[in-house]
């Protein structure tokens, strides 16, 4: 089953590692993010939606486009990407993974049953996946046993944390 990743676009571009580039060109940074996510999508097959702020765009409706299999959404004038991400978390509940470092969005999404991953952590996962693909490394965790057999560690992580870690393994 492919995951649905909803990404806080400008939040992720703020932490992206871009060797040899200075992140001052907003459009160039946005295009680099889309290019990386297209490569990641080819590798993993996950459904990916990137949400960007368009609040000063002058547009009275949300702009949606598809670029190389990546759904891109720009918020309408006066609306923040945060609102769209919260709507997605509320609507899809358990089937969506929100990528953001914004605590307000993360708290809201987790309260509605979604899994959240900090932007810097996802950037590292994405970079490692693309690097491994370039080097021809096979992912050893692909066929991991997900049985529900309990073995007595009374200090195991919370259910939310275990769910988050399980989702990260699938990335």
pLDDT of residue 43: 87
Helix 119-135 with 26-44: angle, nearest 10 deg = 60
Q: Is residue 143 pLDDT above 50, yes or no? A: no
Question: What pLDDT is stored for residue 83 in this prediction?
Answer: 93
User: Above 60 in pLDDT, residue 74?
Assistant: yes
Q: How far apart are CA 102 and CA 118, in angstroms?
A: 8
Q: What distance in Å separates the CA atoms of residue 39 and residue 57, rounded to the nearest whole number? A: 28
Name the DSSP class of 163: H
Candidates 2.60.40, 3.40.50, 2.60.120, 3.90.550; CATH matching 4-142+151-170: 3.40.50
Domain segments of the chain: what residues?
Answer: 4-142+151-170
37-62 pLDDT per residue, tens? 998 998 888 999 999 987 666 677 88
Q: What per-residue confidence (pLDDT) applies to 18?
A: 66
- Confidence band for 72, pLDDT divided at 50, 70 and 90: very high
Q: What is the mean pLDDT of residues 120-133?
A: 87
Phi and psi at residue 47, to the nearest 5°: -80, 130
pLDDT of residue 7: 96
Total-model pTM = 0.76
């Amino acid at each position: 089953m492919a995951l649905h990743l909803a990404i806080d676009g400008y939040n992720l571009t703020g932490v992206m590692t871009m060797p040899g580039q200075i992140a001052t060109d907003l459009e160039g940074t946005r295009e680099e993010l889309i290019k990386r996510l297209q490569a990641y999508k080819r590798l993993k097959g996950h459904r990916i939606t990137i949400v960007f702020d368009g609040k000063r765009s002058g547009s009275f409706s949300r702009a949606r486009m598809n670029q190389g299999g990546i759904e891109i959404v720009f918020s309408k004038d006066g609306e923040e990407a945060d609102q769209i991400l919260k709507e997605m978390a509320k609507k899809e509940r358990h089937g969506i993974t929100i990528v953001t470092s914004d605590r307000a969005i993360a708290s809201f999404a987790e309260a509605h049953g979604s899994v959240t991953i900090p932007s810097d952590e996802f950037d590292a996962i994405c970079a490692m996946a693309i690097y491994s693909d370039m080097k021809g490394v096979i992912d050893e965790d692909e066929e991991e046993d997900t049985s529900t057999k309990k073995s007595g560690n009374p200090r195991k992580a919370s259910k939310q944390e275990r769910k988050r870690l399980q989702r990260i393994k699938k990335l």
